[in-house]
Chains A and B, each alone.
Chain A
């Protein structure tokens, strides 16, 4: 049933929203796209499909974390270290 997965989906949405605060293009940009992406799939009831989408959401979380880390690392490296480093 989609009921236990409802909690998963809400958890995913909240986590992504939290991560979106640091998005380079701005929080509003991220939030709009996040909402659109979730709304596009709001009528799906097959638990298999929902599970797949939640997994894709978790993957996006990992991608965002990597993006944020790389951005910060590169900025620090550029500011504090000689180019040859």
Chain B
């Protein structure tokens, strides 16, 4: 199979970090905070590498959009087994407003340029929880999409995707080229150990600008404010059922 897979990876604040809102409420504190690859993107990379190991695809290309630092994330993808990386340089104000629409335009342009047959993305990023990039990319390319994939199998020139949906699992058959977004149970991502990271240093990361791909990264959204969720009120303990009923009546619940 001569298929080429494009995997999008996003650099996000590490899942274990306690998020703090900036005092001016325009966003979240990112300076000096630990960042890593979005967990769903890790699953996407793992799936692409697995497909390559099964010799179902020929090449895995990892893509990320952002400033210099996203190269770390691309290196992690390379350490997990991707063949080469593409760093789409977006920095400063453009990066702050970069969202699924812009990223999907970039991915669509890259898919055409690199002649990719399959795009695998994480289903959503843990920082913005948009769950839009995969769907938008498929729409821009007019490709079928298998979202929330928990199982992926090749059948001749088609892809069988088992999707996790409300109420269970749905199995669909889609033709290649296609876009797939990875859900939690698709696979178990391998850890990018130090020896693999060292080996990955030899792999190439190409530099591209959105303008080179003919993509306009200006945003049509404006973030008005960012607030913390309301503090949890302490609970109240009562002695008897009568007390409980009394308190509920007081709170206007019954």
Please list the residues of chain A having a beta carbon within 8 angstroms of any beta carbon in chain B: 11, 14-15, 18-19, 24, 61, 65, 68-69, 71-73, 75-77, 79-81
7 A–B contact pairs at CB < 8 A? A18-B193, A18-B197, A19-B191, A65-B191, A69-B188, A75-B16, A79-B126
Given A24-B16, A81-B184: A76 and B39 within 8 A (CB)?
yes
Task: Say whether A76 contacts B194, CB under 8 Å.
Answer: no
Q: Which residues of B contact A24 (CB under 8 A)?
A: 16
Tell me how far the C-beta of A30 lies from the nearest C-beta in chain B, rounded to whole angstroms. 14
A19, A72, A75, A81: the one contacting B193 at CB < 8 Å is A19
Residue pair A68, B191 in contact (C-beta under 8 Å) = yes
The 7 closest A-B pairs by CB, nearest first: A18-B194, A65-B191, A15-B194, A76-B39, A76-B184, A72-B39, A75-B15
B229 contacts chain A at the CB level, 8 A cutoff: no
- Closest residue of A by beta carbon distance from B192: A18
Interface string of B175-198 (1 = CB under 8 A from A): 000000000100011010111010
Q: How far is the CA of A76 from the CA of B15 in the complex (A)?
A: 8
A75 to B126, CA, bound (A): 11
Q: A19-B193, A75-B15, A79-B126 are in contact. List 13 more A-B contacts (CB 8 A).
A: A11-B195, A18-B197, A19-B191, A19-B194, A61-B193, A65-B193, A68-B191, A69-B189, A72-B39, A73-B184, A76-B15, A76-B184, A81-B184
Q: Does A77 lie within 8 Å of B184, measured CB to CB? A: yes
Least distance between B116 CB and chain A CB atoms (Å): 27
Bound form: Cα–Cα A73–B184 in Å = 8
Give the docked Cα–Cα distance between A77 and B150 (Å): 14
Which B residues touch A11, using CB under 8 A? 195
| Interfacial chain B residues near A80, Cβ < 8 Å | 184
Distance in angstroms from A12 CB to nearest chain B CB is 10
Q: Which chain B residues in 187-239 approach chain A with CB under 8 Å?
A: 188-189, 191, 193-195, 197
Give per-residue flags for B36-54: 1 if the beta carbon is below 8 A from chain A beta carbons, else 0.
Answer: 0001100000000000000
Smallest beta-carbon distance A25→chain B, Å: 12
CB-based contact A72/B15 at 8 Å: yes
**Cα distance A77–B15 when bound, in Å?**
12
A69 to B122, CA, bound (A): 17
Measured CA separation A65–B188 after assembly (Å): 11
Give Cα A80–Cα B164 distance, bound, in whole angstroms.
Answer: 12
Chain B residue numbers with a CB within 8 Å of A73 are 184
